[in-house]
Chain A
């Protein structure tokens, strides 16, 4: 799985947990909290979805790595089983 696949999958996960977001208008570099008023429950839902979809553990201290779609993609890439 390369970074592009990861980005596509992350966008799918994002719109699944927050159907009120328009996928066409997501800026991958901007923090989700800033962009979409993500609250702590949204952030946890996103972390749960990412953890389950990619089969990776996300410790509490790493939640900040999921702040934006791009930072989440980098985090997933470096934590995928088997390495990147």
Chain B
């Protein structure tokens, strides 16, 4: 069976990308999860991965071509049975990245039935979109939930081109702006804060790091990511996606780690299966993510996999970070700096290292009381770091 390989959306803030290089040739075999092409996006250079096992039939897009999300890039010849990967819930064995639960993967969309059913376009807009050959998936991706798209929206989409390298920063700023505007427009956020005693975590970290060479040491972000993952596993309503008008919880916790891009902007690639990995493994993977963000080379699965995000401004000395949810996720944790502060302990005032967690969560999925339990569950885990 011949299927189309389309440019996937790598997050709510992506509208288009430029193909820089094919990593496969016609006639070559490709496995699910294997990179097929390199594309330049506002987040940098990203390797996009195949959703299916098969053989490359032909390459449609030419390197250097700007493509809207959903554009057909290549055709794959897949075995009919393997082709069922489109709707399969089973994660790829060796490549967790393009999991069937990832937001907006083309394959999942294909299986979900005609996009047109959910898409609302004015007649003129539909005609114009057809003239311009904009695929439904691009429209669906750009459409705000429940709003009808008009011809102006279509023209704007048609002109959305990836920026020249010199404009990369302002392009990233625009992309973040668009995604965050969508988050604020569509998601009824609620916010909760909780300051905790970070002494146990800090003491454990110092004791762990002291005898080890620099390259094997841990940083507190990794402890926090693991604590969030474990808490998200226990308290339901914070881990997963809001899609098609309902919450889809995820069984695995893929923690998005917000990483600032020098010169402005940020990306939040995922620590896959953070709930089930030990701290040294998470540290290695986090370290690798940061290195590849700095070198400008990431993999598509990392952008679509996160089921919840953690973001920190501790290094910049702020006390509290009030985060904005990254759609289609439903929760995000912000952390400030670890700071020595007066702390009431057993009826006395003592100085302790403290950390303030802020939760932004989606009111369509959870309430403040559940949110409070979630924050307490994170704090509890950070109080017992040896169990992380």
Contacts from A to B (Cβ < 8 Å): 17-21, 33, 36-42, 44-45, 47-48, 51-52, 57-60
Among residues of A, the one whose C-beta sits closest to the C-beta of B297 is A19
- B residues less than 8 Å from A57 (CB atoms): 213-214
What is the predominant secondary structure among interface residues of chain B facing chain A? helix
Residues in A neighbouring B209, C-beta threshold 8 A = 60
Whether a CB of chain A sits under 8 angstroms from the CB of B260 is yes
Once bound together, how far apart are the Cα atoms of A45 and B295, in whole Å?
13
Chain A residue nearest in CB terms to B261: A20
Is B217 in the interface zone, CB < 8 Å from A? yes
CA distance A55 to B263 in the complex (A): 32
Q: Given A40-B221, A40-B315, A44-B219, answer yes or no on A51-B213 (Cβ-Cβ < 8 Å).
A: yes
Residue of A nearest to B215 (CB): A48
A38, A52, A60: the one contacting B217 at CB < 8 Å is A60
Contact with A along B206-224 (1 / 0, CB 8 A): 1001100111010111000
User: What is the interface of chain A mostly: helix, strand, loop, or mixed?
Assistant: helix
In the complex, per-residue mask of B260-274: 1 if CB is within 8 Å of any chain A CB, else 0:
111100000000000
Residues of B within 8 A of A58 (CB): 214
19 chain-A/chain-B pairs, Cβ below 8 angstroms: A20-B262, A20-B295, A20-B296, A21-B262, A33-B315, A37-B260, A38-B315, A40-B221, A40-B315, A41-B219, A42-B290, A44-B214, A44-B219, A45-B287, A45-B290, A45-B291, A47-B214, A52-B215, A57-B214
| Interchain CB contact under 8 A, B214 and A19 | no
A20-B263, A33-B315 known, 15 other contacts, Cβ within 8 Å: A19-B294, A19-B295, A20-B294, A20-B296, A36-B262, A39-B290, A40-B315, A41-B221, A42-B294, A45-B287, A48-B215, A51-B215, A52-B214, A57-B213, A59-B210
Contact of A18 among B221, B260, B294 (CB under 8 A): B294
Chain B, residues 168-184, CB within 8 Å of chain A (1/0): the string is 00000000000000000
Interface pair A17/B210, CB less than 8 Å apart: no
A45→B178 CA distance, assembly (Å): 33
Shortest A32–chain B CB gap in Å is 11
CB within 8 Å for A44 and B217 given contacts A18-B294, A19-B294: yes
Given contacts A19-B294, A20-B294, A21-B262, contact A41 B286 (CB under 8 A): yes
